[in-house]
Amino acid sequence: MADKKAPAAGWPVATGEYVVGNPESCVAVITLGSHGLDQAAIDAGAAISGPCHTENLGIEKVVVNYISNPNIRFMIVAGSEVQGHITGQCIVALYENGIGDDGGIIGAKGAIPFMENVGKEPVGRLQSQIVELINLIDTEDTGKISAAVKSCISKDPGAFDAEPMIIELDGGGAAASEDEGGLVIEGIPTVAEPDIESIKALNEALDYKVGLMTRDIGLASGVQTETITGLMYGSVFAIALVAIPIALKFLMG
């Protein structure tokens, strides 16, 4: 039987729309933009299965949950591709190419494929820990996904030879330390203080523009009303000017 390790306490450590199975399983499944596929993957023996919609924070959560469980050695990417984000292709690119100095996923085609909270070390850990990525993008056949899960389990090489790596996505600073038996790397803060003054200025500008638009609409409406009224009076006068001579001629014989 393959050697196993305990995942990080409270695993999965990052929240998300996933279904959790046996944490000692060697397979994790990403179902991209599809729903209704995850339970089949879990029933087939996957450790975790869930959708991933975005090519930045969504992929960061995948990385965080996978490297915090050394037992995960295979990654299956299935389900319908997420249009615009092209998340599946970005995940494949991350695994094959890693990220650049700016945090961008090398070779990714998504809209904003940047890892702001997960640096090169965690990405490198994912690349080393995952021995194979099975590309089933645009496959929603639960039979094929289940078969892929079982195939990976049959090749289980055992847990990765390192402690769980824990990434605090909402943390601050860039220091690394040992905590709870795993390597903790705190990421860049993902929550920024709002710029109240800028927001107020924006609101004032919007109010001013809305006022101008309202005034213009009112003026246009008034002009249109006056024009219609003028046309009505003109028509009445024209009819009167034509009708009066005719009536007088008729009365005078």
Give the residue ranges of the annotated binding site for 5-hydroxybenzimidazolylcob(I)amide: 85
Please enumerate, as own/partner, the contacts of 214-220 that have beta carbons within 8 Å and a separation of 24 or more: none
State how far the alpha carbon of 163 is from the alpha carbons of 45, 65, 117, 175, 213, in Å: 23, 13, 20, 17, 62
Cα separation of 55 and 177, whole Å?
A: 28
> What residue numbers does the annotated binding site cover?
85
State how far the alpha carbon of 7 is from the alpha carbons of 37, 101, 205, in Å: 24, 29, 52
Rounded to the nearest 5°, which phi and psi values hold at 223?
-60, -45
**Which two tokens mark 235?**
């028509």
Rounded to the nearest 5°, which phi and psi values hold at 153?
-60, -35
State how far the alpha carbon of 219 is from the alpha carbons of 81, 208, 224, in Å: 50, 17, 8
**Which two tokens mark 195?**
């710029």
